[in-house]
Structure 1
Amino acid sequence: MGKADLKTETLTAADETAPPDSEELIARARKLQPLLREEQQACEERGHPSRDVAKAIRDAGLFRILSPKRYGGYQMALPNFYAVIMEIARGCPSTGWWYALGAAHAVQVSSYLEKQGQDEVFAHGPDFCAPWSFNADRATALPVAGGYRVSGKWAYCSGAPHADFFMGGMSVPDMQGRTASRETSWIAPTLTVVVPRGQFEMLDDWGDFLGMRGSGSNSVVLQDVFVPDHMTIRMNHAATLFGETPGSRLHDGAALYGGLFNAFAEGSLAAMAAGTAMAAIDEYIQIMKTRTAGFSGRRRIDIEDYQRTLGLAIVMADTARAAAIRGAEIYMETSARSVADIAPFTNEAGVRLDGMYHMIEKLVAEVVESLLRTASSAASRNGQKLQRYWRDVTTLRSRRDQLDFRAAGIALEYLKAAGHLSSG
């Protein structure tokens, strides 16, 4: 299927007479895969998906999956969103990253903004794409009448190209507008400003990393932008939730909008990783079908050693996918109990889900490494898909946010919750 075919077959969200079900949305994402594979190299070179790709994803309704029904969105459960991410990433991991971290934050906007802010955000329509970064460089937010005057630079704003809004996080500023470092922001109350397109500048500074070169993780700059109070979110990532959030109250008790951010943040990337594992399997099968093994003259697809490697990769990828979907289900179940005043959504639950998502990424890295290692050195050449996927998952696991740096904190939360340690 080429670009012209895609344009004639894709049903735009605006043309729908009734909201699609999850299977239809997954099918739409799957239909994009030929285009995404065709665009992989260009996406890397550009640093982000093309306007045509972004439009195709938007026309398929995939940017309204998590938006509230009140505003014309589909308000689907989190597992359905993760399943769509997997299909996008199976076509192009960089595009999967860009999509996952652009579309996902509809949940936080719909959870933590009060009604006036949500009304303003979704006045632009139910399609929502916005990066959220806490990698602030000398951010200032000066309190003024009715809001803040904000300046600063934020790095790693994945989803910024083609975004509708930018979400800039920082520690809560003092009366002079000064904010603390990012390291402090994860344990202290934070302020996030939600800024519409046209009021932020995206820098052309992405693409020189080992992998995920096409993820559109550019920096964003704000220059003395006024942000009204109703377009800000105050939160503590590690604070236990119990009871209604602004979003669950506004959207009829919806569990989707009642959870902790630290239980959510990594899940979209875990889903992207699971899709990348399947992309690597697809490419490995193609190599097995088209290449022979040494002097035997036999195709690799007929040789047990390659079949064994493939079988192990399939099982590991299936496990990664199942864990990502189950993590999304746990998020929904825990949030529902919290919103209904049955049991709190604790920080312990949040960090354990976060750790689970990181473990998925570790499993996927093992899948891709095993396939690249056994596919022959030719698969490691520049421009080869398996090499690209290996670079992508290596970059995914090389971030500051990784399980090795968080495991001790997970253990502490578990021990405190089980009564083995004091809460201090």
Structure 2
Amino acid sequence: MTRISNTAEHDSPAPAEPDLTAEQIVARAEAMVPELIDRQAEVEQRSFYAEDIHEKFARNGFYRILQPRRYGGYEFGLDTFVRVSATLLRGCPSTGWMYTLGAMHTQIVATVLGEQAQSELFGVGDFICPGTAVPSGSAVRNADGGWTISGKWSYCSGSPYGTHFLGHALIAGDDGALPMPLFFVAPRSQWTRLDDWGQQLGLRGSGSHSITMENAYVPEHLALPGVQIMETDVSTGTPGRALHGNPEYGGGPLSFTNLCNAALAVGIAQGALDIYEDLLRQRSTLVPPIVRRHNDPDYQFWYGDALGMICTAEAALRNGVQQWHDNSAKGPAGVTRESDLRLSAISRHVIQLCWDAVANYLMPTAGASSIRHGERLERVWRDMSMLHSHGGISILLPTVAVRELTRTRMR
């Protein structure tokens, strides 16, 4: 994919490595995979990746892949981001998950908020922003137009190194009316991370702690009343598209999020396939003729079919990203609700293909010794199962989203 360059003219800080390319930053992610594999157990024990890994991510420029060049980022776009994301997940699902969900909201902020907000938010350097689309808590407007927000938000992946938090609160309705959502971004000084992650089935090291806010103040320019970000209509343009001169900052937030979710599944499935391939090369069949598993016709079939499914999922993901890019390039009118939902449906099937490959082929035939506690495949299986139980992925995406897609197309 050819990245659409930022055409806005402005005096702005250059990124740390102005000549860094997308291929170079992907290669940096690939080079980290062996270390991420070796450190999976400690990541689970800590419940998030280590400070030195965080520092390497920062030096490698991973946190600035989506950040606009206007504010010292690389503006490489969704294509590069999902490649880096899937690569890190291939090494350690918890680490890759935590990174992805902490870094991806840069795109949303750079799309929907105005210049004042972006200058303030991205001016801190690396912007790491866990977030959730599920409304919680309460928001009350102050006399100066800002908001006082209180509440608790769960599953805020990326929170240990978060510089900000992206959330939705509820504004009480007048005279019995239903509450209205408030989209907001709060700086680190306004929220607290709870120590409540690490005992779940999988993704124990994903830093998915809860966040609380108590009478926290969020200024007017960092909040959008009446906005639920996954429902945002960008077909008439966005502040980010106008500010940065890059159509990708006018893309659909729903499909962007779901394509990132699909990258999570592809990365985890690729890691599972790596382990399975090693097992085929190292272990022998159980009954005569005793041969290395990779020479056995049954294992050849299981591996080959799983490989084909995961490669198909990756191909669909890349095509979905290209469609998202192309729709954005057409201008605001090219980013419709129907296109947003269609790309979300593609993402849903990418995830399902990855799950089917791992659950139906790799896990049943890898052998019980491969899933003992502490084995890499055991950990990856727990992580994949946790992804499969994600409410947005396994409940809302295959039901609400696909039904709305049909209704949108049939109008």
Fold-level match, TM-score > 0.5? yes
Residue identity matched to 1:232: A
After the TM superposition, which of the residue ranges 393-402 and 200-209 deviates more from structure 2? 393-402
Q: Cα distance, 1:32 vs. partner?
A: 0.8
Task: Identify the range of structure 1 (66-75 vs 265-274) with the bigger mean alpha-carbon deviation.
Answer: 265-274
Which has more helix, going by share of residues?
2
SS in 1 for 2:189: coil
Partner amino acid for 2:154?
Answer: A
Question: Deviation of residue 323 (structure 1)?
Answer: 1.3
Deviation at 1:248, TM superposition (A): 0.6
CA shift for structure 1 position 315: 1.1
Q: State yes or no: 1:222 paired with 2:213.
A: yes
Name the CA shift for 1:47/1:97 in 2 (closer, same or farther; >3 Å).
same
Out of 281, 287, 293, the residue aligned to residue 279 of structure 2 is: 287
- 1:255 paired residue among 247, 256, 259: 247
Residue 398 (structure 1) shift? 1.3
Q: 8 Å contact 1:347–1:413 — kept in the other structure? A: no
CA shift, 1:408, in A, is 5.0
d(CA) in 2 for partners of 1:337 and 1:171? 34
Q: Structure 1 residue 416: deviation in Å?
A: 4.0
Cα distance, 1:410 vs structure 2: 4.4
Look up the match of 1:66. Answer: 66
Q: Taking structure 1 as reference, are residues 179 and 168 closer, same or farther at Cα in structure 2, changes over 3 Å only?
A: farther
AA aligned opposite 1:150 = I
Q: Secondary structure at the match of 2:269?
A: helix
Deviations for 1:149-194, whole angstroms, at most 9, x for unmatched residues? 1111111101111111111212444479x984xxxxxxxx632221
Choose the corresponding residue for 1:366, options 340, 356, 369. Answer: 356
Q: Are the aligned partners of 1:287 and 1:375 in contact in 2 as well (CA < 8 Å)?
A: yes
Give 1:302 shift. 2.4
* Of 31-40 and 402-411, the range deviating more from structure 2: 402-411
Q: In the alignment, which residue of structure 2 is the partner of 1:28?
A: 28
Which structure 2 segments of 5+ residues have no match? 1-13
* One-letter code aligned to 1:212: L
Q: Partners in 2 of 1:295 and 1:219 — Cα distance?
A: 50
Aligned to 1:315: 308
Change (3 A) 1:117 1:404: closer
Deviates more, 1:128-137 or 1:63-72: 128-137
Corresponding residue for residue 121 of structure 2? 121
Tell me the alpha carbon deviations over residues 192-212 of structure 1, each in whole angstroms, 9 at most, x when there is no partner. Answer: 221222321100101222111
CA distance in 1: counterparts of 2:222 and 2:260, whole angstroms: 24
Maintained 8 Å contact 1:273/1:364? yes
Query: 1:99 & 1:164 partners in 2: Cα distance?
Result: 13
Q: Which residue of 1 aligns with 2:385?
A: 394
User: Which residue in 2 is equivalent to 1:357?
Assistant: 347
AA aligned to 2:203 is: M
Q: Does 1:242 align with 2:241?
A: no
Q: Secondary structure at the match of 2:142?
A: strand
User: 1:255·1:336 contact (CA, 8 Å) conserved in 2?
Assistant: yes
| CA shift digits 1:344-365 (9 cap, x unpaired) | 4222222222222122111111
* 1:338-397 deviation per Cα after TM superposition (whole angstroms, max 9, x unaligned): 33xxx3422222222222212211111112222121011111211111122221121112
TM-score norm. by structure 1 comes to 0.87
**Identity over the aligned pairs, expressed in percent?**
34
- Say which SS state the counterpart of residue 63 (structure 1) adopts: helix
2:266 aligned partner: 274
Q: How many residues align?
A: 393
> 1:240-267: per-residue Cα shift (whole Å, max 9, x none)?
3223211111101x12110222122222
Q: Which is worse superposed, 235-244 or 374-383? A: 235-244
What RMSD, in angstroms, separates the aligned Cα atoms of the two structures? Answer: 2.3
- Contact 2:149-2:216 at 8 Å conserved across structures: yes
- Which structure 1 segments of 5+ residues have no match? 1-13, 181-188
1: CA distance between counterparts of 2:354 and 2:174?
46
Instruction: Please tell me the residue identity of whatever aligns with 1:361.
Output: I
Distance verdict in 2 for CA 1:383–1:139, change over 3 Å: farther
- Change in Cα spacing, 1:216 to 1:404, as seen in structure 2 (3 Å) is closer
- SS in structure 2 at match of 1:99: helix
Separation (CA, whole Å) in 1 of partners of 2:138 and 2:257: 22
Per the TM alignment, residue 309 of structure 1 is displaced from its structure 2 partner at its CA by 1.4
- CA separation of 1:328/1:142 partners in 2, compared to 1, >3 Å: closer, same or farther? same
Question: Normalising to structure 2: TM-score of the pair?
Answer: 0.89
1:330 to 301, 323, 330: 323
| 1:143 maps to amino acid | N
Residue type of the alignment partner of 1:163? G
Structure 1 residue corresponding to 2:368, chosen from 367, 377, 381? 377
